[in-house]
Structure 1
Amino acid sequence: MSHRPRTLPSTRTVIGSLLTLILIMTGAAAAAPRAAAAEPQPYKLRVLEHNIAGGMNFKGGPEALNGINTQITAFNPDVVILTEVCASQRDRFAADHPDWDLHWTAMVEESSGCRTSDNPSSAQGQVVASPHPMSNLQSIPLGQTDQQIDDDGTVIREKVFTMICADVAISGHSATTLRACGVHLIAFQEPVEGWIPTDRIGARTKQVATMAKTLNAWVADGVAVTVGGDFNTRPWHATLNPLYHLSTAGKFEGSGQFHEADQTDGKWFDTRPSGVTCREDKQCRTGQFTINGTRKYDYVFISRNVTHGGEVSALSADKYGSDHNLYRALFNIKL
C-alpha cells in the first residue's frame, strides 16, 4: 500500500505563523484586560417588616401605610416587607414611592375588608419593595392552601401561601447578589388546640421546610438572602429549625443557614421557656414581642454567609393601628 507524501511547511512559514499568533494574543490581552473580582464590602443592611392588617383594621384605606411611611423616612431601609396588603394599599404605596421597585402577589383574591369605592379589587396579598432596582422576581408556592368551606361544601374563601423574592441591586455592592423574600405563613398554633381543622396540623412546619429547601440552597450557592414576614409561630418552636443556625441548645449547630435580627437582644432572653438555652448570654432563640404584647410572630432573617459573626439587631416599633408591631432589622454584613 502506497502513502501520499506530506508537504511540510518551510521554517520561514512556521516562524511567521508563530509571530502572528503571538501578536494576536498580545493585542487581545491589551485590548480586553480581565477585570478583577470585586471584594465584598461592609454594609449596614436595613429591613422594615410589617403586617399592616390592611383589610381587617383599615378596610383597604391608605391610613394603613402611615406607619411604614413614617419609618421609611426615619430608617432609610433597603428592603420593605409587608403582609395583609389590599390591592388599593399596594397602589397607594407605589404612588407614595414612585422611584421604588415593588413585587406584589395576592394571597386572598376575595377579601371583604379590602374592597373600597376607589378600588373595586378585593385582593389582599404581600409586598416586597426597595428603593434599589429589583430583578428576577419570583413567586414560590408554599402549599397548604387554607380554605374556608360552608356547610354545603362551597369554598367561601381561599388563602394561597407564597414566598415572594427579588434580587436587590445595591449600588457599589455587586460582589454578592442580595435576594430579598417575604412570607405570610398559615395561622394558628401547632399542635392542634382542640378546634383547628386537622388538615392544618403541621401545615406551617411543611411550609417552612419548603422555604428552607430553596433558601438554604441559594445560600450554598453564595447568594446573600434576607427573608422576613409574619411567621405565625414562636422563635423556639421546632417549626423554625430549618431556618435558624442557632439551636435551642444555644449553639451554632442548626441545619438552617440564617440568623434572626432579634436573637441578640438580651432584654428578652428571660421570655424563653424551659429547655431553651442561650448561647453565652449573647444569642438566644427569643426576641421582642410583635403581636398583642404577648408573642413574637414577626421575623427578619439574614443568611450567615454574609454576616460578621452574627452581628444583627432589631426593634419592635409601634403598631400604627395594626395588631402587629412594625419590625426594624439591622444587619452588619459584607456585600
Structure 2
Amino acid sequence: MKLSTTRHGAALAVATLAVTSAIGVAATTTAASASAADNSIRVITHNLAKKNSALRGVVRKKEQLKGPEVILLQEVCSTMLPRMRRNLSPTVVFHARRSTEKCGSGGTVGEAVVWTGTGSSPVADVALGPKKDGHTYGLACLDFGRNGRSVRACSTHLVAAKAPQSYRNELTSAMGTHLGQWVGEKDVVIVGGDFNTTPKTYPMDQLYGRGNDAKGKFVELHQMATGKPERDGKATIGGGTDARKFDYIFASMKGARLSGGTENTCWKDGNPETTDCTTSNHRILWGNVPLKPLS
C-alpha cells in the first residue's frame, strides 16, 4: 500500500490500518467461536413433572440458546408429544414407562429425547429390566451426526428416591451394559436424565468413569465444566438444605474432553407464561459437552 506523506494522508492510512486490523480480529474471534461451537454439543435435560408449563419453559430455553442441541426430557406425558414435534423437532423418541390417568384417559408417562438439528434417526426402545410395580424403566435414544462424528443420545428416569439403592444399582448396571456396547460403536454417547440419587451413591459408580469408585466409561457435565474428577454438581431439585443433584448429563470419555464444558441450571422464578425457566420441581440443567478432536 502506498502511503501519503501529508498529515491527512498519514491519518487516513493509520485509520485504514486500524479498521483492517479490527476486521481481522473480529473475523478471527468469530471463527474461533464457530470452531468452539462445532467442537461441542449443547445438551439440555429436564424432568417436566407432567406439566405443560414446564415444557413451555424448555421451548423458551431452546429458543434462547438458538441450537442445535440435544434435549433429554423425563416425566413426559404422551399427550405432549404432538406439541414437542411442533415446537422442538419432528423426530421425538419416546419410551413409555407406565400408564397413568394423570396424563389423561389412556395416557402414558415416560422419557423422550430430541435433537433440534437435522438428520436424526430413532433407536429401538431399550428396557433396563422387566416391568416392576407398573414401571418399565428404560432408555429413549436417537442417533445423529455432529461435524463428522456419530452420536447416540439417550434420556432416562430411574426408580423414585425412596426405593432401595440395590434396585437402582440393578438398573444402572443394565444401563452400563448397553452403553458400553454403544461406546464401542459410536464416536460419542450421551446419556442423561433423572437418576433419583446423588452423585456419590454406589449405583452411580456404573456411569462415572472419573472420581472415587468409578467403574463406568463416562464423564459428567460438572466434571467437564470444572476439569476436576470430583463427583458433584449444581443442585437440580429442592431448595435450601434440601437442595440435591438428581439430574445428570454424561458423555462417553472416548469422545468427550475432560474439561472445557459448561454447566448451568435455572428454576422457578414467577409466572409460568412469562418466566424463561420452569414450573417443575426440578431445575433445568444444560451445558456444552466439549468434544475431542477427530483423529
TM over 0.5, shorter chain: yes
Aligned-partner Cα distance in 2 for 1:228–1:182: 5
Corresponding position: 1:208 with 2:199 = no
Q: 1:302 — aligned with what?
A: 251
Tell me: CA distance 1:126–1:222, structure 2 relative to 1, closer, same or farther (3 Å): closer
Corresponding position: 1:145 with 2:131 = yes
Aligned-partner Cα distance in 1 for 2:76–2:261: 27
Answer with 1 or 2: which has the greater Rg: 1
Which of 117, 121, 127 is the aligned partner of 1:135?
121
Q: Is contact 1:107-1:159 (8 Å) kept?
A: yes
Tell me: CA distance 1:53–1:128, structure 2 relative to 1, closer, same or farther (3 Å): same
Q: 2:215 — aligned with what?
A: 255
Aligned-partner Cα distance in 2 for 1:330–1:219: 19
The one-letter code sitting in structure 1 at the alignment partner of 2:115 is S
Q: RMSD over aligned Cα, in angstroms?
A: 2.2
- What is the Cα deviation at residue 264 of structure 1? 5.2
Aligned-partner Cα distance in 2 for 1:205–1:81: 21
**1:100 counterpart SS class:** coil
Corresponding position: 1:329 with 2:287 = yes
Aligned-partner Cα distance in 2 for 1:144–1:201: 17
Corresponding position: 1:104 with 2:68 = no
Question: How many residues of Structure 1 are paired with residues of Structure 2 in the alignment?
Answer: 243
Tell me: CA distance 1:46–1:256, structure 2 relative to 1, closer, same or farther (3 Å): same
Aligned-partner Cα distance in 2 for 1:220–1:95: 34
Q: 1:284 — aligned with what?
A: 230
**1:70 counterpart SS class:** helix
The one-letter code sitting in structure 2 at the alignment partner of 1:106 is A
Q: 1:177 — aligned with what?
A: 150
**Greater fraction helix:** 2
Structure-to-structure mapping, 1:1-335, within 5 angstroms: 43-54=39-50, 58=51, 62-75=52-65, 76-97=67-88, 99-109=89-99, 111-115=100-104, 120-131=105-116, 132-143=118-129, 145-147=131-133, 158-170=134-146, 173-174=147-148, 176-189=149-162, 200=164, 202-248=166-212, 254-263=214-223, 282-293=228-239, 294-319=243-268, 320-334=278-292
**2:203 counterpart SS class:** helix
CA deviation string 1:20-60 (max 9, x = no partner): xxxxxxxxxxxxxxxxxxxxx95121011000101xxx3xx
Structure 1 unaligned regions, length at least 5 = 1-40, 148-157, 190-195, 267-280
Structure 2 unaligned regions, length at least 5 = 1-36, 269-277
Identity in percent: 28
The one-letter code sitting in structure 2 at the alignment partner of 1:86 is C
Tell me: CA distance 1:256–1:310, structure 2 relative to 1, closer, same or farther (3 Å): farther
Q: Is contact 2:152-2:186 (8 Å) kept?
A: no
Q: Is contact 2:236-2:283 (8 Å) kept?
A: yes
- What is the Cα deviation at residue 263 of structure 1? 2.5
Q: 2:4 — aligned with what?
A: none
- What is the Cα deviation at residue 136 of structure 1? 4.5
**1:202 counterpart SS class:** helix
- What is the Cα deviation at residue 77 of structure 1? 4.1
Q: 1:276 — aligned with what?
A: none
Q: Is contact 1:107-1:124 (8 Å) kept?
A: yes
- What is the Cα deviation at residue 100 of structure 1? 3.4
**2:172 counterpart SS class:** helix
Q: Is contact 2:151-2:186 (8 Å) kept?
A: no
Q: Is contact 1:265-1:287 (8 Å) kept?
A: no
TM-score (normalizing by structure 1): 0.67
- What is the Cα deviation at residue 133 of structure 1? 2.1
TM-score (normalizing by structure 2): 0.76
Aligned-partner Cα distance in 1 for 2:130–2:235: 26
**2:101 counterpart SS class:** coil
Aligned-partner Cα distance in 1 for 2:171–2:55: 28
